[in-house]
């Protein structure tokens, strides 16, 4: 009788508690920053039991206690291994005839379905797959299961396509920069050749001027005037070409990013591709993440570091990209 008294109220109030918790989660999603992060190619999570082995190994009394506590603390379906639905699933395996356990799972199922939809919308495929496994264990015939599984497959394909498009764009930009560099080198070589030709012409004209008679001085003066015009035209052309070449960035201060404490403790490494715009005074005026591996682990620290970078002043704003690598010491 004590178990009925303990879980009866929890079952009656569970929908209200679950609804409040899900509303709070939904509110947080709506106020989250809108800055998009570059997509990372999704991978299917390895198959794992819906209920963790640790939960499955617990006794019925411990499971009832932890299930009630999880409901009180609004841990209906997360985090993995410490939530009400997993505890009740383990209880159902151990006490298949307990009507209160079955009723609690029936109450929790709709909110787990909503959470799976929300995580699918956020492209959190690992969490979505975990929730779908819980739903399937509660009710293998749930009508939403085929749609959720198809949604996971379709969304993963869409994210992969988006990642490929971003990769292709980065590759194309790199090829464009390489072509620009080749063109700059060609222009520099052309300027050197023109300057050398001008020096040779000047030497020849100077030798001819010394060897000519007074009668040829007027002709020499005309040639010198032509030479000055040619040199002025060459200098003007060189100045025009030089102005067309994009300014290069010379770093003054590029402090390294701070290593996130959680990533450091877990030995996680990765890299972040950042696009930044440098103003004429050399400060970074804008920065955004184009790609991060793994996603959302190092993004914030990478942006914080880049925004503190300083470069030598330039004639016009310059937009460029930098990759920041994160690797734990000794890794």
pLDDT in tens, 49-68: 899 999 999 999 999 999 99
pLDDT of 329 strictly over 70: yes
Return the H-helix or E-strand segment holding 323. strand 318-326
pLDDT of 239 strictly over 50: no
CA atoms within 13 A on the CB side of 161: 6
What's the full length of the chain, in residues?
331
Is the separation of the CB atoms in 318 and 278 below 8 Å?
Answer: yes
CA distance 214 to 165: 74
Nearest residue to 100 via CA among 60, 72, 130? 60
Q: Identify the band that residue 247 occupies on the pLDDT scale cut at 50, 70 and 90.
A: low
Structure tokens at 231: 């040199």
Helices (H), the chain: 2-30, 53-56, 60-72, 84-94, 99-121, 125-138, 144-211, 217-244, 261-266, 299-306
Residues whose CB is less than 8 angstroms from the CB of residue 295 and which lie 6 or more positions away in sequence, other chains included: 37, 39, 40
Mean pLDDT of 293-320: 96
- CATH architecture under which domain 251-326 falls: 2-Layer Sandwich (3.30)
Structure tokens at 109: 């199922």
Mean pLDDT of 135-164: 92
Domain boundaries along the sequence of the chain: 2-27+36-142, 173-244, 251-326
Structure confidence by residue, pLDDT tens digits, 99-126: 999 999 999 999 999 999 999 999 999 9
Structure confidence by residue, pLDDT tens digits, 167-215: 999 999 999 999 999 999 999 989 988 989 888 977 787 865 887 587 6
37 sits in the region (left: phi over 0; alpha: psi -120 to 50; else beta) called beta
pTM: 0.41
Highest mean pLDDT among 152-161, 201-210, 300-309: 300-309
**Which range (93-107, 245-259, 271-285, 299-313) has the least confidence?**
245-259
| Predicted pLDDT of residue 29 | 39
Q: Identify the band that residue 42 occupies on the pLDDT scale cut at 50, 70 and 90.
A: low
| Predicted pLDDT of residue 26 | 37
CA distance 111 to 119: 12
**Which range (212-221, 232-241, 281-290) has the least confidence?**
232-241
| Predicted pLDDT of residue 46 | 54
| Predicted pLDDT of residue 176 | 92
CA atoms within 13 A on the CB side of 206: 6
Return the H-helix or E-strand segment holding 293. strand 284-293
Structure tokens at 118: 């929300």
- Which residues are paired to 288 by β-bridges? 275
Average pLDDT, the chain: 83
- Which residues are paired to 247 by β-bridges? none
| Predicted pLDDT of residue 43 | 52
Residue 148's Cβ-count burial label (10 Å; 0-12, 13-18, 19+) is: buried
Is the separation of the CB atoms in 298 and 324 below 8 Å?
Answer: yes
Mean pLDDT of 309-313: 97
Is the separation of the CB atoms in 259 and 326 below 8 Å?
Answer: yes
Return the H-helix or E-strand segment holding 270. strand 270-278
pLDDT of 232 strictly over 70: no
| Percentage of the residues of the chain whose pLDDT score is greater than 90 | 65
| Predicted pLDDT of residue 235 | 54
Residue 327 CB neighbour total at 10 angstroms: 12
pLDDT of 32 strictly over 70: no
pLDDT of 18 strictly over 50: no
């Amino acid at each position: 009788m004590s178990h009925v008294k303990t879980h009866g109220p929890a079952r009656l109030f569970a929908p209200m508690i679950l609804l409040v918790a899900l509303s709070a989660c939904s509110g947080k999603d709506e106020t989250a920053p809108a800055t998009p992060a570059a997509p990372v190619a999704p991978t299917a999570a390895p198959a794992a039991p819906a209920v963790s082995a640790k939960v499955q190994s617990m006794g019925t009394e411990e499971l009832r206690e932890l299930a009630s506590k999880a409901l009180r603390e609004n841990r209906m379906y997360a985090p993995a291994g410490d939530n009400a639905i997993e505890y009740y699933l383990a209880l159902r395996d151990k006490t298949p005839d307990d009507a209160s356990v079955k009723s609690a799972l029936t109450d929790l199922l709709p909110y787990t379905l909503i959470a799976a939809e929300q995580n699918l919308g956020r492209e959190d495929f690992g969490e979505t797959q975990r929730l779908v496994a819980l739903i399937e264990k509660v009710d293998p015939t749930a009508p939403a299961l085929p749609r959720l599984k198809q949604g996971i497959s379709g969304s993963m394909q869409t994210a992969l396509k988006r990642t490929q498009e971003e990769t292709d764009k980065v590759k194309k930009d790199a090829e464009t920069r390489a072509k620009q560099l080749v063109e700059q080198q060609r222009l520099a070589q052309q300027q050197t050749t023109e300057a050398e030709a001008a020096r040779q012409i000047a030497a020849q004209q100077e030798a001819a001027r010394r060897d000519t008679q007074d009668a040829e001085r007027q002709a020499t003066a005309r040639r010198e005037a032509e030479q000055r015009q040619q040199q002025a035209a060459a200098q003007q052309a060189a100045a025009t070409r030089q102005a067309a070449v994009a300014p290069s960035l010379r770093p003054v201060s590029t402090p390294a990013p701070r290593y996130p404490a959680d990533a450091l403790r877990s030995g996680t490494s990765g890299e972040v591709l950042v696009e930044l715009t440098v103003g004429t005074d050399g400060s970074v005026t804008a920065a955004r993440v184009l790609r991060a591996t793994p996603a959302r682990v190092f993004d914030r620290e990478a942006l914080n570091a880049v925004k503190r970078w300083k470069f030598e002043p330039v004639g016009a704003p310059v937009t460029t990209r930098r990759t920041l690598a994160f690797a734990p010491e000794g890794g």
